[in-house]
Amino acid sequence: MYVIVKNLSFKYKNAKDYQITNFNLEIEKGEIVALLGPSGSGKSTILRLISGLEIPNGGEIIVNNRVLYNKNVFIEPQKRGIGMVFQDYALFPHMTVEKNILFGLEKINKEARQRILDEVLELVDMKEYKKRYPHELSGGQQQRIAIARALAPKPSLLLLDEPFSNLDAGLKKRIRKEIKEILKKSNITSIFVTHDIEDAKDVADRIECHPCEM
């Protein structure tokens, strides 16, 4: 199994109750899994735990045979090789598409960076847009650039938090299909969080509910 999350539990420091108790998830390589649940059920918290932005109180997280968290191990978020796409895309507004994508890849030599840039822009079909600024793009295009940026460092796992919630209802159907194609073409393993069953059905290979009694 490529991703194993076992008996994960977590409580925010200032909270009385546990937000996550004994959460389990297993994912095959290249699979797209939707984490479906109502608002406030803890879906974003699960992504924050997998990416290392929060420290679990117990359990285990393994990706590609590498332990990211257990009772003896905590790998820092920047060393996990996990890509994230946020609900608002979080593109840098003062940087062009090209600069957004290359941000954080400064250590790689120039030719390799150019190759990665061309590769991810080709993947999301946005080659002509590299000199544009985020405000010059549509919501769907911004989302594709956010995915290109997350894929550029070649993460082992991609996490997407409510990736469709900012999109016009009329465009959603088409954009879901495009995103599924992009994820499949890149062969990335991904988890995306949504409260919308239509998002989950259209994009995911498999739906996991949270909480599961819903």
Closest to 161 (Cα-Cα) out of 197, 190, 188: 190
The one segment of 11-19, 67-75, 148-156, 181-189 that binds ligand ATP by CB under 6 A: 11-19
Nearer to ligand ATP, 53 or 73 (CB): 53
Q: How many residues bind ligand ATP (CB under 6 A)?
A: 13
Nearer to ligand ATP, 86 or 133 (CB): 86
Q: For residues 5-28, b (16+ Cβ closer than 10 Å) or e, as one string?
A: beebebbeeeeeeebbbebebebe
Write out the binding residues for ligand ATP, residues 195-214 only, by CB under 6 A.
195
Nearer to ligand ATP, 104 or 211 (CB): 211
Decide: is 19 part of the binding site for ligand ATP (CB under 6 A).
yes
Among 1, 12, 66, 184, binds ligand ATP (CB under 6 A): 12
Write out the binding residues for ligand ATP, residues 27-86 only, by CB under 6 A.
37, 39-45
Binding site for ligand ATP (CB under 6 A): 12, 14-15, 19, 37, 39-45, 195
